[in-house]
Amino acid sequence: MKKGRLKQVLLITDGCSNQGEDPSAVAALAKEQGIAVNVIGVVNEDQTADGGIQEVEDIALAGGGISQIVQTKQLSQTVQMVTRQAMTQTIQGVINQELQQILGDQDSMDDLPPEKRGQVMEVVDELGETVNLEVCILVDTSASMEKKLPTVHEALLDLSISLNSRMGSNQFCLYTFPGKRKPIDKLLSWTPKIDSISNVFSKLASGGITPTGPALKEALKSFDKRPRRDFVEDDDAFIEES
């Protein structure tokens, strides 16, 4: 099995997009390119289920990722949990494909007896720990998000602690939307640590529009802009021995 790295988009938003193409369609596009789109919907303590929440789930569903609605104060833990679960899910998906080839009609891990399942899970865990990960973080900074941004900032630093405790390498990049002139603004190009973003969020001017679709589309391009030299590692087999 040959696989380079796991690629994820992590979209942090609080609700409805209102400009440009359908974000779910863009997410489906991402999935086709092997990029999982995870979405975290940040709601206020008093906010109840509405259209924004539906959109959050739809984007993740289309993007082969995971979604989670969360209140601002629980954000840190959710961000790391979603990222981790999405990794596991992607790896399981890949392993299931392998299993299909080996087992034929028995088509997934769920069809194995519990004992065998345990062994497969160990491989999944091992890969989740050692695989190289690229996360493109895309933060909605439209007006309604303004008060939540300090917490988003904290959650991202926290994510960096979690992922950098792994054995595998990590690369992050960070974009916000809506951008000043373009759909998105780049705050951070690919880097192994997120520490460097302190205070950038506080300087953001937030606007009234939420062009989630176009922003997502731009963010996907970031995966092509990875520094060339890093691709040398990509020849490493995804699973060396299993």
- Per CB under 8 A, residues contacting other proteins are 53, 57, 60-61, 64-69, 76-77, 81-82, 84-85, 88-89, 92-93, 96, 108-110, 113-115, 117-118, 120-122, 124-125, 129, 158, 161-167
Q: How far is the CB of 139 from other proteins (least distance, A)?
A: 20
Alpha helices per DSSP H over 131-234: 149-163, 212-221
d(CA 49, CA 92): 31
Q: How far is the CB of 236 from other proteins (least distance, A)?
A: 19
Choice between 85 and 189, CB closer to other proteins = 85
Choice between 57 and 146, CB closer to other proteins = 57
Give the count of beta carbons closer than 10 Å to the beta carbon of residue 194: 23
Three-class SS state of 11: strand
Residues 55, 56, 59, 60, CA torsion sign? negative
CA 125 vs. chain centroid, Å, equals 18
Choice between 108 and 206, CB closer to other proteins = 108
The position carrying tokens 């300087």 is: 203
Q: How far is the CB of 92 from other proteins (least distance, A)?
A: 6
The position carrying tokens 């922003």 is: 215
Choice between 28 and 188, CB closer to other proteins = 28
Q: How far is the CB of 193 from other proteins (least distance, A)?
A: 12
Q: How far is the CB of 186 from other proteins (least distance, A)?
A: 27
Choice between 84 and 226, CB closer to other proteins = 84
d(CA 168, CA 105): 33
Choice between 3 and 186, CB closer to other proteins = 3
Question: Using omega within 30 degrees of 0 as the cis cutoff, is the peptide bond preceding 211 cis?
Answer: no
Q: How far is the CB of 71 from other proteins (least distance, A)?
A: 12
> Angle of helix 23-32 relative to helix 51-62, nearest 10 degrees?
20
Taking CA 225 as the corner, what is the angle to CA 132 and CA 1, rounded to the nearest 5 degrees?
A: 35
